[in-house]
Amino acid sequence: MKIYNTLSGKLEEFKTLRDKEARIYTCGPTVYDYAHIGNFRTFCFEDIFRRYLKYKGYKVIQVMNLTDVDDKTIRRANEEGLSLREYTEKYAKAFFEDCETLNIEKVEYNPRATEHIEEMIELVKTLINKGFAYEKDGSVYFDISAFNEYGKLSKLDRREIKEGVSVDADEYEKDDVRDFVLWKAKKEGEPSWPSPWGEGRPGWHLECSVMAMKYLGETIDLHAGGEDLIFPHHENEIAQSEAATGKPFSNYWLHCKYLIVEGKKMSKSLGNFFTLRDLIKKGYNPRAIRYVLISSHYRKQLNFTLESVKAAEKAIEKVEGFYQAVSQTKNKADYDERIKELIEKYRKDFEEAMDDDLNVSGALGALFEFIGEVNKLYPDSNIPEANRDKVLQFLEKLNSVFAVFDFSTELPDDEILKLIEERNEARKNRNFKRADEIRDMLKEKGIILEDTKDGTRFKRIK
């Protein structure tokens, strides 16, 4: 499996430190508001990567932090007159609900920054003792001129570094490189914790290094996030972690490109700024939203449009309809070796696409080609019963990675079965009015009927 490592700027074979165990850190949300669809593009991409590693037999240990203390969370909590914990708890809860809605798997650890203050203070003390950090007016700053490899991730020109000039803001531009803050001296109206340098709070960049190393060790396999985090956040994580330990912090860095909406940068003033909740309120299927978010290559800009969500709903319907039809086949013909060969071919195509820097669109293409080839052999997907289980298992296996299709096929209850029988009788007796009434009743219950030469089939719609 090859992935594009931002650190080297090359496609590289993914090799973990421990056999078949991947230790991954992904930057989670800053819980000051509802996450928007741009955030969820990154979270869905990271989920696909995690799921594909599991598909390949890896044990995955993933940490996704919650930033619950930084400039943004403090400002918003103060504006609403709430404690920091009270304010951030609301949005942390909303984030996990949204992840569940989008079929994003729960990760092994979701640490909060505020629960790791002691470890953060210890890391700052280590950096001061090793000559990589200095205290000034109750704050502590990382001396970037002392770390010779500063800029290796973001390909920074070291001549741009302003020696001895510090910055207190969490976010700043690449053309304004300064000593970044590790510990911020207390300000009025801000939460604070005791430290050797006086009351204060951690800087944003410090938080992720501490939580990554606490749960995953001093060197991790892979760190991922949105491309907007390359500088300064990930650059600063590398500097403080490697300065403290003398070891590589992460062997691979994966970054997801941002998205635009309807061809323009997402912005509230343009009316094209969407949270997941906004889209669901408008009636869009969350699985179709996930489909759109994963279907473009993660290193290409995604143009998210409402038309693309509607098209995704149709694509999902096609796959689910195929699954339902295959699950209900009554074809008594002999086992067809050609279907087995198609499964083998398209499994290989799926894996080749995913192994090529997580080419999800190619992997989805393999799935749709498989369905098309089966339907060429058996119109209406009426394959031999003898092939059914292997086809269903193949679809389920691929969906363990995509996580966009709903393959639940629970049988209707007795009432629905009786209605189907009654409709068949009505049609036999040419009572088409009653047959149509029953069909409409079943539709209301989420059951669509299909009349084929082998009898009536049903499929559930969500």
Residue 162 has which token pair? 């302003």
Contact in structure between 110 and 64 (CB atoms under 8 Å) = yes
- Any long-range contacts for 241-244 (C-beta under 8 Å, 24+ apart)? 241/209, 241/212, 241/213, 242/147, 242/149, 243/127, 243/130, 243/132, 243/142, 243/146, 243/147, 244/123, 244/126, 244/127, 244/130, 244/132, 244/209
From 3.90.870.10, 3.30.200.210, 3.40.50.620, 3.55.40.20, which CATH number describes the 2-256 domain?
3.40.50.620
256 marked as binding residue: no
From 3.50.50.60, 1.20.120.640, 3.10.180.10, 3.40.50.11540, which CATH number describes the 314-402 domain?
1.20.120.640
Contact in structure between 173 and 232 (CB atoms under 8 Å) = no
Contact in structure between 103 and 290 (CB atoms under 8 Å) = yes
Residue 286 has which token pair? 């969350």
When pLDDT is averaged across residues 250-264 and rounded to a whole number, the result is 97
**pLDDT tens digits for range 279-308:** 999 999 999 999 999 999 999 999 999 999
Residue 411 has pLDDT above 90, yes or no: no
**pLDDT tens digits for range 318-330:** 999 999 999 989 8
Nearest to 113 by CA among 66, 169, 76: 66
Residue 255 CA to residue 5 CA, distance in Å, equals 8
In this prediction, residue 271 has a pLDDT band, given cuts at 50, 70 and 90, of confident
Residue 310 CA to residue 443 CA, distance in Å, equals 21
341 Cβ contact partners less than 8 Å away, ≥ 6 residues apart: none
99 marked as binding residue: no
208 marked as binding residue: yes
* Tokens 């300000």 found at: 187
Q: Tell me the pTM.
A: 0.88
Residue 40 has which token pair? 């969820």
In this prediction, residue 450 has a pLDDT band, given cuts at 50, 70 and 90, of confident
320 marked as binding residue: no
